[in-house]
Structure 1
Amino acid sequence: MLAWIQRLLALAWLAALLGLPARAVLQGAGLLPALGWAAVVLGAHALWLALTVAMAALANRGDASPRASWRQWLQAWWGEVLTAPRVFFWRQPFRTHAEPDRPDLGAPGQPGVVLLHGFFCNRALWNPWMARLRAERIAFVAPSLEPVFGSIDDAVPLLEAAVQRLERATGVAPLIVAHSMGGLVTRAWLRQAQADGRVRAVLTIGTPHGGTALARLAMSENGRQMQRGGGWLATLSAAEPAERAARFHCIFGHCDNIVFPASTAVLPGAAEVLHLPATAHVDLVDHPASWALAKRLLQS
């Protein structure tokens, strides 16, 4: 479903990019107004990202995370400006199944990887990861979590099915790598299935373990569940044994423009915490350090 939503958004964006300048030219407005309309369309997402960066910078004042300089914020913003269109207007709408699941790769006893995306994303977020896993003959399964705007708990059966596929294929517990909301799906699955022994480790990347201030603007059920101090997160945390956090390795960034304050992306008691400076929310996924940590967890 999400792919179709994002296809419509991508096509609407393309229609505006081509149509508004063309209309200006046909109405005799001249070249400069036409270029102005093109700049407005091209810059709309950059403006939205700048707004989220400003919100994150304000929220991070006084946070325990390392202080980001204005150059680091600018670097993170520009990186996301370049990344977001590729992910949301190309990869996810039109390349959802470019990399099919490969639970059959690798030798028996070699652990595989479950890849979980976050809010308003689908499995194609992981296309670069899936290509690398396929090249290195590491088994993987990447479900698209549905319903798009439903409860986080509703995605738990999809994670259970993905884990079962890798368990049957490899005979061992998989590594779970989860971006953003996908980390909360993993925690909900561990709670519901009491599945601590069925996972090698959990690597979360920009997951709002403590919620995010941006969720105050959320209108969907899963968005509201990620509010700081919200009931869903409180219930989840209360049901977790203290030792479970030691299975988690958390990657976070002080320039994350979606999960902020930045320290909310760290699960208290996690076995390892890795900070990636000058990197915004989606860019955390394809950062070389994220891949390197996943590979180390597979080999340890």
Structure 2
Amino acid sequence: MNKLLHNLGVWAMDYVDAGLVHARSILAWSVPPEFSTGDPGKPTIVLIPGVYERWSFLRPIAERLNAAGYPISVVHGLGYNRRPIVETSERLARALSLVSANPAGRLIVAHSKGGLVGKHMLVSFSEDLHLRGLVAVCTPFAGSRYARYVLGQTLRAFIPTHETIVSLGSNTSVNAKIVSIFGGFDPHVPDGSVLIGATNVKLPVDGHFRILHRQETLDAVTDAVDLLVRSSAASAVLGAVAGDGTGEHTA
């Protein structure tokens, strides 16, 4: 009974938190000008919010990463991210392709559905967009069984047997470039956010929305971004060494 009451409390407070973020986003919708600045040696962070969310849900994380020297990219035109995952990925890719990439590349930081969009982008556009990895918070990589009980295609797209969920789940080629961060009880992702082959980080916090501004999450995301930057840099060095053996390359 105590666990049930705890979970109901988390669920209620999660919606209160989401409502407050929506309200604040109306009053402070503009992107801080300092987001465009950062250390030229660090990749640009591309923010992808979850369904029914705007970029402001990720604002605490963006501010923390920007303070650490990472430039932040906010892509407008997604609305409340209700379009299908693949369509959203393709729209984002087109928008990013119109802007020259930071010499250090790009790295995606996403919440919930945004992590699925981010994984599709890694699978389909990594080379073209110079994507170095994905940090996903509370992403339903295996879908959510609750999606079966809702109306409308926006949320039913998270049914575990949906073709996009199955397709992304079966493609493990980019999982090593993903860090999945999640808490204990997530009222929207009941089966968890563990992704086989990725770096999985479980935090001692609960919730789906409130987790986004917890100190533990800000620390974990910053550590994850730094980890992916180091890992991709090491891979690039190894690749260069391997390619220097004969001086011959096959396109």
Which stretch of the first structure deviates more once superposed, 125-134 or 276-285? 125-134
1:35 maps to none
Where does structure 2 lack aligned partners over 5 or more consecutive residues? 231-251
Q: Does 1:203 align with 2:135?
A: yes
2:32 maps to 99
Point out 4+ residue stretches in structure 1 off by more than 6 angstroms.
none
Deviation at 1:166, TM superposition (A): 7.6
2:88 maps to 155
1:251 maps to 181
> Equivalent of 1:175, from 107, 111, 135?
107
Length-normalised TM-score, structure 2: 0.76
Kindly indicate which of the two structures has a greater share of residues assigned to helix: 1
Distance 1:176 1:97 in 2: 20
Percent pairwise identity: 24
Deviation at 1:84, TM superposition (A): 2.4
- For residues 272-287 of structure 1, the aligned pairs below 5 Å read 272-287=199-214
Distance 1:72 1:278 in 2: 12
Change (3 A) 1:74 1:217: closer
Distance 2:95 2:79 in 1: 13
Distance 1:201 1:189 in 2: 10
Q: Does 1:267 align with 2:202?
A: no
Where does structure 1 lack aligned partners over 5 or more consecutive residues? 1-56, 58-67
Q: Does 1:87 align with 2:87?
A: no
Distance 2:160 2:33 in 1: 35
Distance 2:15 2:164 in 1: 32
Deviation at 1:164, TM superposition (A): 4.7
Deviation at 1:162, TM superposition (A): 6.2
Q: Does 1:233 align with 2:161?
A: no
Q: Does 1:140 align with 2:72?
A: yes
Distance 1:297 1:154 in 2: 27
Change (3 A) 1:225 1:160: same
Contact 2:54 2:80 in 1 (8 A): no
- For residues 184-203 of structure 1, the aligned pairs below 5 Å read 184-193=116-125, 195=127, 198-203=130-135
Distance 2:15 2:116 in 1: 26
| Secondary structure, counterpart of 2:190 in structure 1 | coil
Query: Between Structure 1 and Structure 2, whose CA radius of gyration is higher?
Result: 1
Contact 2:138 2:181 in 1 (8 A): yes
